[in-house]
Amino acid sequence: MPAIRTVLAALVAGAALGIYLQRFAGWPTFLAVAIGAVMVVFILLVAASLSDDDAAADAAWRAAAPDLAGRDPGRNPAEPSRDASGGEAS
């Protein structure tokens, strides 16, 4: 979830675009409001994708799906991996 400041900035930018399109460009009000709302949604999607929690999200992903992360959570990464016969895997 984006910060409240980001949400407010997106709302202000969307409202400003909608007002500009309706007042100065002469667009119908429903189109100006729709374009402003699309801009708000786009800004919020970009803000959510650029969040500051990348390390926490990566750690959570690796903990939830160790088979996809390429290692066992209980295995020491410094030890060589072993195959089913007990020999070292190549």
Does residue 49 lie in a domain region?
Answer: yes
pLDDT band at 31 (very low <50, low <70, confident <90, very high): very high
Does residue 16 lie in a domain region?
Answer: yes
- Specify the higher pLDDT residue, 78 or 65: 65
Does residue 83 lie in a domain region?
Answer: no
Does residue 25 lie in a domain region?
Answer: yes
- Structure-block tokens of residue 50: 């650029």
CA-CA distances (angstroms) from residue 78 to 47, 70, 74, 81?
A: 38, 14, 12, 9
Does residue 76 lie in a domain region?
Answer: no
Does residue 32 lie in a domain region?
Answer: yes
Indicate whether this model's pTM tops 0.75.
no
Q: How many structural domains comprise the chain?
A: 1
Residue 16's domain comprises 4-69
